């Protein structure tokens, strides 16, 4: 009787192990078969975001292929960050920088900031965030036009008093019931803009390509 029970348990264990192996193999095969498609879709989405922060007519190069890695505390945690160079006939016409606001209400906020040849901001898009729906998520373009307030602006320094939310005496709106989120984004964009102005002349000489994103 005991031998029969042991044999049944062993048989069931082997069946479960076989199913687990088959499931793992199926997941692996699915990942392998779909990875190229996933990567391609990610590139398409990134290209769309870049076109939203840098006017396509302002450059004649492929922005994604122009990507360089950069590292600086001004751009937030988790370096390196991404820099996309906009060039026309070999001349630098602007760039887009990935920055991270580490002090959002619900953690890191990843931001893509475009700049023109005069170092003014040409566009801002939020790449990733975990802010509260209906409150902090107004930083997202699909929810509100709040990020458009940065277009055409550039700070004079990290101490520029205009570059804070109105509650702190600055020019930028905060959200009702959610001041922490816009405060964090304004601060991150200000620091990235000051970084851009200080290092713009060095960008064409960078040699830290991102490779195949």
pLDDT above 90 covers a percentage of the chain that reads: 76
- Residue 36 in this model has a pLDDT that exceeds 80: no
- The whole-number pLDDT of residue 31 equals 42
- Segment 200-209, tens digit of pLDDT: 999 999 999 9
Domain boundaries, the chain: 59-205
- Segment 106-150, tens digit of pLDDT: 999 999 999 999 999 999 999 999 999 999 999 999 999 999 999
Classify burial at 179, counting beta carbons within 10 Å of its beta carbon; exposed 0-12, middle 13-18, buried 19 or more.
middle
- Residue 3 in this model has a pLDDT that exceeds 60: no
pTM over cut 0.95: no
- The whole-number pLDDT of residue 43 equals 72
User: What's the distance, Cα to Cα, between the start and end of the chain in Å?
Assistant: 61
Q: Comparing 151 with 32, which gets the higher pLDDT? A: 151
Residue 173's SS3 state is coil
User: Phi and psi of 33, rounded to 5°?
Assistant: -75, -30
- Segment 9-31, tens digit of pLDDT: 566 666 666 666 665 655 555 54
Residue-averaged pLDDT of the chain: 88
Q: Comparing 157 with 44, which gets the higher pLDDT? A: 157
Nearest to 164 by CA among 179, 144, 152, 177: 179
Q: Comparing 63 with 20, which gets the higher pLDDT? A: 63
Q: Comparing 162 with 45, which gets the higher pLDDT? A: 162
Q: Please answer whether residues 187 and 111 qualify as being in contact, where contact means their C-beta atoms are separated by less than 8 angstroms.
A: no
């Amino acid at each position: 009787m005991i031998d029969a029970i042991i044999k049944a348990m062993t048989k069931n264990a082997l069946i479960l192990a076989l199913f687990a192996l088959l499931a793992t193999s199926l997941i692996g095969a699915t990942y392998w078969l779909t990875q190229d498609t996933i990567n391609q879709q990610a590139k398409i989405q990134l290209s769309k975001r870049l076109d939203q922060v840098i006017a396509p007519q302002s450059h004649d190069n492929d922005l994604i292929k122009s990507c360089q890695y950069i590292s600086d505390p001004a751009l937030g945690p988790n370096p390196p960050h991404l820099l996309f160079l906009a060039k026309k006939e070999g001349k630098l016409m602007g760039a887009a920088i990935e920055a991270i606001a580490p002090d959002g209400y619900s953690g890191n906020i990843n931001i893509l900031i475009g700049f023109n040849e005069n170092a003014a901001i040409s566009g801002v898009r939020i790449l990733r965030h975990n802010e509260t729906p209906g409150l902090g998520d107004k930083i997202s373009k699909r929810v509100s036009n709040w990020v458009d307030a940065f277009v055409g602006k550039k700070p004079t320094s990290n101490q520029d008093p205009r570059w804070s939310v109105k509650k702190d005496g600055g020019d930028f709106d905060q959200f009702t019931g959610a001041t922490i989120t816009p405060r964090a984004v304004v601060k991150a964009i200000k620091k990235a803009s000051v970084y851009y102005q200080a290092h713009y002349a060095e960008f064409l000489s960078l040699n830290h390509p991102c490779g195949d994103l």
